[in-house]
Structure 1
Amino acid sequence: MFDRVLSFFRDLPAGMTGAGTLHADDPRVAATALLYHVMNADGVRQDAEWERLKDVLSQAYGASGTELDALVTAGEKAEREAIDLYAFTSVLMRRLDEPARVEFIRLMWEIVYADGEVHELEDNIIWRVAELLGVARHDRIAMRRQVAGAKTGDASDEQV
């Protein structure tokens, strides 16, 4: 499952050479900003969510140290400056095919479930992002069930 998520990131343009090349219209920054946004939706940044975010970005790009810090900083800055989610989802819509967009929704659920809890604001953000990315309702729910099942052993807490 995680391999498919990593392939999503690998399909995005590579060649990060430092913070100077990272802009909000870079799909890596757009993806990081959305992940950062959902991570902070409940107003509490759990260490497990933060570590999961950094782990995913590190594995996806082979980034570590200053490169990883630059990507996270660029995503955080872009998220703080954004007035809506469309700025980021439109970048991903231009660059990703449908299966990659579904995988991105799975990745968002991975970040949300990292702390073992789903806040209604996190759920709502993923719903909105999925809508903006053209991800069908059944795919969004299937991704949630898969991630929840992997974390808890079953997905019986599913809300629609």
Structure 2
Amino acid sequence: MISKIKRFFEENLQLSDHKPEENEKQIELACIALLIELAKVDQSIDESELRIIRELANKQFEIDNGKIDEIIALAREESEQSTSLYQFTDLVNTNYSDEMKYQLILSMWKVAFADGELDKYEEHLIRKISDLIYVPHVKFMEAKFDAQKENSVR
């Protein structure tokens, strides 16, 4: 199963030297993969988390539903073996501005709050990714507060 996921990301996340618009889509796919990793970190992917991921993918990244569903299906197939976040966070680090990184962390918090329960593993993963993409702690907390406030309005 892991080999299917690796093959998918090798085919879809290799940056091209030719077309900037293709690179942008590949980076967006990396962000969606991080959101999927977050959704499954508590051992269950809730339908409300999937709904938020689809909304974010459509609104922020304009990724078509077929690609999102393919990524979700592959993530669900993955066994308990851990995967490296480096291939995703490296793309974000080298291509995203500080504001875009903040938006990614905000999106992660929205997914974490989607099911009404903040799991300690979700918070840990968001903190880890935040550190890996060099988001200052104050921005990490600001994103958490903003997502929590938005979630309570729903």
State how 1:113-132 maps to structure 2 within 5 Å. Answer: 113-132=113-132
- Structure 2 match to 1:66: 66
Q: What is the DSSP-based 3-state SS (H/G/I as helix, E as strand, rest coil) of the residue aligned with 1:135?
A: coil
Distance 1:83 1:47, change over 3 A: closer
- Structure 2 match to 1:105: 105
Distance 1:90 1:77, change over 3 A: farther
Using the aligned pairs only, state the percent identity: 16
CA deviations on 1:135-158 (whole Å, 9 max, x unpaired) are 0001101110111122226xxxxx
TM-score normalised by structure 1 residue count:
0.71
- Give the structure with the higher percent helix: 2
Unpaired runs of 5+ in structure 1? Answer: 1-18, 154-160
Deviation at 1:61, TM superposition (A): 4.0
- Structure 1 match to 2:13: 23
TM-score normalised by structure 2 residue count:
0.74
CA distance in 1, matches of 2:73, 2:67: 10
CA distance in 1, matches of 2:143, 2:35: 15
CA deviations on 1:72-130 (whole Å, 9 max, x unpaired) are 4577789x987321221011111101111011100100111111110000000000000
Unpaired runs of 5+ in structure 2? Answer: 1-8, 16-25
| Paired positions, count | 135
